[in-house]
Amino acid sequence: MSSLGRALSRSRLSQPDAFQVQKSLTQPPDDEVSVLVLYTGGTIGMVEDKTGALVPAPPGYLIQYLRTIPFLHDEEYTPPPPTDCCVLPLSKEKKRVVYRIKEYNPLLDSSNMSPADWEKIAKDIETNYEQYTGFVVLHGTDTMAYTSSALSFMCENLGKPVIVTGSQLPIYQLRTDGRDNLLVALLLAGQFNIPEVGLYFYQKLYRGNRVTKVDCASFNAFTSPNLPPLADVEIDIKINKDIIWWPSKTEKFSVDTQLNCNVGVLRLFPGITDETVENFLQCPIMAGVILETFGSGNAPDRQSLMDIISQASARGVIMINCTQCLRGSVTSAYATGQALAKAGVIAGFDMTPEAALSKLAYVLAKNLSLEEKKQMMQCSLRGELTDDSKKPKLCDSRFIQVIAKSLSINCDEELAAVRDALTPTLVCVAAKNGDIEALDALKEMGSDLITADYDGRTPLHVAACEGDVKVVEYLLSKGASVYARDCFGETPLHNAVHCRHKDVVKLLRKTGAHFSPSEMVDAKTKLHSLVASGDSEGLEIWQLAGVDQKPTDVNGEFIKFTACPRS
């Protein structure tokens, strides 16, 4: 019998022991999630000035307005949130999104934004990361694709949603896309496991580094020409899990805001002279250039032009070949394209110019050799370019072939439906049995290894209960989220603590797992009871889990703990 077969014949996962945290009055209700809105400016919050031009409304105007819109703020909800918070009515997913707005000063038209503003947004996400379930960035549409691209690179090992949005008409107007865009962005940031910088606009959530603004007169302002949306927001919100860029490292979230801004974009045109190209590339500070070429990456291949490009490459200028076409990729199909590659220009594949430019600024600032930087530019760091060779094909899986044959299925949609119905249980059983081979087989047939079972328990919850460090490590490398909560409100970190698996607790913490601020308050009570029962092992494990408060007595004095055996 195969390991997968053996896995199937064994029992369900064991539940954690009785070492459960009591939910206390200090905790918010289980259905409450919190979102931080970073409000940077843009049309969404603009009003007309005396001349009729749109300018950002005065400070505090947006939040005052939102509090008057019942579907953006439920006044009846108790307990009342702090004054700078709003709360959405209960959603279809039975969640309450409580959101706080951090308003920037000054609020900007996004045409006035610069890399310093990207840095501020990234740092604000970093500072508030552990306090919130997700983040929304309210931003003008004109340079939104640059900001969402830059943020996607600056945010390293992101495990929570960061949703950038805005609108084409001010939120205060009768007809506006602002109210809907904000509402859905809040729901996406608070309720879904999308560990990416996304851009939400007009019923679609796109990967932030795949978008470009294509229309300044339509609500449907953005497109993602080379990647389908991460989510389609219709009657139901459909998350396209197969497309999401799942994390693959056991590392904590951090931001790297260093950018080398000595970069530029040169768009080729028929008749462009050698002098124009030479002057552009010879600017002494130029460290990297995006060359916008024709079709699938072609340029005039006259020798004089190729010499100028070769010389720039020899001086260490990194040049990336991006197509002027909206859709498609740079290839080596034509001699005119191959000549550029020979002169030292690197293929940018299907990257948008916005993504290529911000990636180049990010990569150039890294402390790496020129060769390493060139390598980085050619591989996908955050899903910004397509690498077809890595995508498993559902119909290639032997397991799926057998099922398809016995059920007489031959279309892709039905195969996917069978896979989606079977795999949550299979991956949980394989995780319980420590069967990495079976997990690999399931992965190969396109299962995402993050899907929860009927109790909302993911394979990572199961492996954390079992204390299987190898499986936990494997799952984390395949995109499992340390923030997933089962229907009892528990994360894998809770499970590992309850089941007292020290090494798993350490690994989850290293990957960024943390208790929420309210759970931290409760943990202090927990520490008291551990001290009272002389449970040194329990105390150690809670401290490993990040509970740093030292237990205090009623007078606020630290209790000196003397270990005594558990009864």
**Which positions touch ligand ASN (CB under 6 A)?**
41-43, 109-111, 140-142, 166, 168
Q: Tell the smallest beta-carbon distance from residue 168 to ligand ASN (Å).
A: 5
Closest by CA to 106, choosing from 66, 140, 155, 132, is 140
Closest by CA to 431, choosing from 466, 401, 383, is 466
For residue 515, give the DSSP letter: -
Closest residue to ligand ASN using C-beta atoms: 140
Look up residue 233 and give its two tokens: 């927001």
Q: Tell the smallest beta-carbon distance from residue 354 to ligand ASN (Å).
A: 14
Whether the CB-CB separation of 412 and 274 falls below 8 Å is answered with no
Q: Tell the smallest beta-carbon distance from residue 358 to ligand ASN (Å).
A: 17
Whether the CB-CB separation of 97 and 187 falls below 8 Å is answered with yes
Which residue type sits at 61? Y
> By C-beta, is 201 or 362 nearer to ligand ASN?
201
Q: Which residue has the tokens 């994360």?
A: 491
C-alpha neighbours within 13 Å on the C-beta side of residue 391: 12
Q: Tell the smallest beta-carbon distance from residue 262 to ligand ASN (Å).
A: 25
Q: Tell the smallest beta-carbon distance from residue 356 to ligand ASN (Å).
A: 21
Give the Cα separation of 384 and 298 in Å (integer). 21
Give the Cα separation of 204 and 198 in Å (integer). 10
Give the Cα separation of 227 and 230 in Å (integer). 9
Q: Are strands 197-201 and 162-165 parallel, antiparallel or unpaired?
A: parallel
Q: Tell the smallest beta-carbon distance from residue 475 to ligand ASN (Å).
A: 40
Q: Tell the smallest beta-carbon distance from residue 169 to ligand ASN (Å).
A: 8
Give catalytic status of residue 276 as yes or no. Answer: no
Give the Cα separation of 516 and 546 in Å (integer). 11
Which residue type sits at 207? R
Q: Tell the smallest beta-carbon distance from residue 142 to ligand ASN (Å).
A: 3
Q: Please identify which of the residues 43, 147, 165, 423 carries the catalytic annotation.
A: 43
Q: Tell the smallest beta-carbon distance from residue 411 to ligand ASN (Å).
A: 41
Q: Spell out the residues 6+ positions from residue 219 whose beta carbon is closer than 8 angstroms to its own.
A: 168, 177, 202
Give the Cα separation of 102 and 120 in Å (integer). 12
Look up residue 45 and give its two tokens: 């919050």
Which H, E and C letters describe 346-375, residue by residue? EECCCCCHHHHHHHHHHHHCCCCCHHHHHH
- Largest Cα span, the chain: 87
User: Taking the CA atoms of the chain, what radius of gyration do you get in angstroms?
Assistant: 26
> By C-beta, is 47 or 417 nearer to ligand ASN?
47
Q: Spell out the residues 6+ positions from residue 497 whose beta carbon is closer than 8 angstroms to its own.
A: 505, 541, 542, 545
> By C-beta, is 57 or 277 nearer to ligand ASN?
57
> By C-beta, is 177 or 435 nearer to ligand ASN?
177
Closest by CA to 458, choosing from 246, 151, 187, 305, is 246
Q: Which helix (H) or strand (E) holds 458?
A: none
CA 129 vs CA 34, 381, 514: distances in Å: 11, 21, 10
> By C-beta, is 145 or 318 nearer to ligand ASN?
145
Q: Any idea which residues carry the catalytic annotation?
A: 43
